[in-house]
Structure 1
Amino acid sequence: MVPRHALSMLPPVKYPETSVDAFVADLRSVCGQFDVRPGKERVNMRGGALLDTRAGIEMARIAMDVQQVVRTQKSVKQESGEHYFLIVQEEGKALMSQADVSVMMSPGDMVLIDSAAPSEFTFFGHFNRQLSLHLPRAELHSRFGYDLLQGGLSLPRHDPTNMALYGVLAKVFSTTEANNPTNHYLREAVMGLLGAMLHERSGREDFAGIDSDLGSSHALTAAQAYIDTHYRNPEMSVQLMADDLCMSVRQIQRGFASIGTTPTKYLMLKRLEHTRRGLEDRKAGRRDDLIASIAYEAGFSDLSYFNRCFRQAFGQTPKEFLKLDILQAF
């Protein structure tokens, strides 16, 4: 069972209507150089960006009804990238992309973002809220080593480490005294759980302990790379992938189970993200392909099936996505 959001213990915040420019200024002062894409011809929005410090951890409460928040390569070059952001999805749905990783986040899910690399969040729903824990880059490298840390690591809501983190955050939010002696231990608990997740994902022998865990890590890495390369092939299947990788289907399934998903869902996510980007390009006038052409290009061979999957993932049909501002469809 997924625990109730520890974040509900925070004092409620009302987010009035504000200008997009004012929100961008607040977001940049709190989180750094990010660009905001509010949606077609919008100058006002509802939301805000508030900075807080609890148990010695700097954190931001971000709320918005915009379409996208993007950190570009140009933005990265303008800053030193001093933090990793542990993002907790509170409300709405967000598609996070960093490097070659795409993760659909629902309330309760978490993801680790590297501020030293470009990233993109696309939001769905009337309103989105996120909590962002700002973890010092130098400290994390000192604690865990550079090799373990990478942006785009997801921690789904049903994962035991995620549940443990929620328990610690609940205690953090219930402690209002800045000098409470338990703050140090709460901060260490957050860092310890993050380290446990990083080492578990690394497949290192000293933490994995058994060959099956190492095998799952290897299978996951190989299968993700395979899907990233071949997802546009409409004939691709888990069995074909297993045959090409000289693995069993069960090995691949166990690998994806370690990050709370399945190879089929990961394949679908890659195809849907490809079509979403293609439709965004068409909306922006960068291409004029038919919806069917964009879907087939991404590996879909059945247009009706594609339409159902797109609507289930993004809450609107591809035609609605093209005709309407993304926020008006919810």
Structure 2
Amino acid sequence: MPEEYVPGDTFCDDAPLLLGRERGSTAAVLALSRTISEHAGGLSGHEFTEISARTMELLNLALHAPSAEEQSLSAALALAARAYIAERSSDPRLTPDAVADHLGCSRRKLEYSLRSVGASAPARLIADTRAARAYRRLTDPQESASITEIAYTSGFDSLSTFHRTFDRRFGKSPTEVRRRRPRAS
């Protein structure tokens, strides 16, 4: 690994700290390391850097369990992020960076905080929140807006992204969902 990706506190008295197999991060670090070694010749410099960075993040997590205070702060940040995303997801300009800026933290800290409470990555959380909003409108018997209008007012900036996200999230197309909604009385 490039030296700049190795956290300074990975070593104790010039010896590497040991990974306990009881930590889930250990398996992820091993899998990423295996991927790097199996595909080293086919990875671009950018891919290698990204995989290395993720490996070191996981390694750092595996070696250093967060304190109760850190866990509490991460949970509070994740809760605030979820609330902000729920409130602003219909704005197509809402991005993970915008959420992090609003909360006064880095994107990495936001991602870590959401991951620490078992939530999706910020981009996926935004997309899923938008898809859920669209789903509610598509199943509302009183809703008369077109699928396209619902997609854009739910915060999607393109129909292809809307359809892809909706299908991934619900396993059905927006048209199928709309067709099966209850009839208005």
| TM-score category of the 2 structures, normalised to the smaller one | 0.5 to 0.7
- Runs (4+) off by over 3 Å: 208-211
* Letter in structure 2 aligned against 1:245: L
The Cα shift of 1:235 comes to 0.4
Q: Does 1:298 align with 2:157?
A: no
| TM-score, normalised with respect to structure 2 | 0.58
Q: 1:213 aligns with which of 47, 71, 85?
A: 71
**2:75–2:117 contact (8 Å) kept in structure 1:** no
Q: Does 1:310 align with 2:166?
A: yes
The Cα shift of 1:210 comes to 4.1
The Cα shift of 1:246 comes to 1.1
Distance 1:325 1:299 in 2: 22
* Letter in structure 1 aligned against 2:172: Q
1:278–1:325 distance in 2 versus 1, CA, 3 Å: closer
Distance 2:80 2:172 in 1: 33
Secondary structure of the structure 1 residue equivalent to 2:94: coil
Aligned to 1:275: 134
Secondary structure of the structure 1 residue equivalent to 2:93: coil
Q: 2:123 aligns with which of 240, 244, 264?
A: 264
The Cα shift of 1:218 comes to 2.2
Deviations 1:68-95 (A, max 9, x none): xxxxxxxxxxxxxxxxxxxxxxxxxxxx
The Cα shift of 1:223 comes to 0.8
1:309–1:223 distance in 2 versus 1, CA, 3 Å: same
The Cα shift of 1:209 comes to 3.8
Of all paired residues, the percent bearing the same amino acid is 29
| TM-score, normalised with respect to structure 1 | 0.33
Aligned to 1:176: none
Aligned to 1:227: 85
Gaps of at least 5 residues in structure 2 are 1-23, 25-65
Deviations 1:5-36 (A, max 9, x none): xxxxxxxxxxxxxxxxxxxxxxxxxxxxxxxx
Deviations 1:108-165 (A, max 9, x none): xxxxxxxxxxxxxxxxxxxxxxxxxxxxxxxxxxxxxxxxxxxxxxxxxxxx8xxxxx
Distance 2:113 2:79 in 1: 8
Distance 2:150 2:96 in 1: 23
Gaps of at least 5 residues in structure 1 are 1-159, 161-207
More helix by share: 2
Give the alignment of 1:16-55 within 5 angstroms. Answer: none
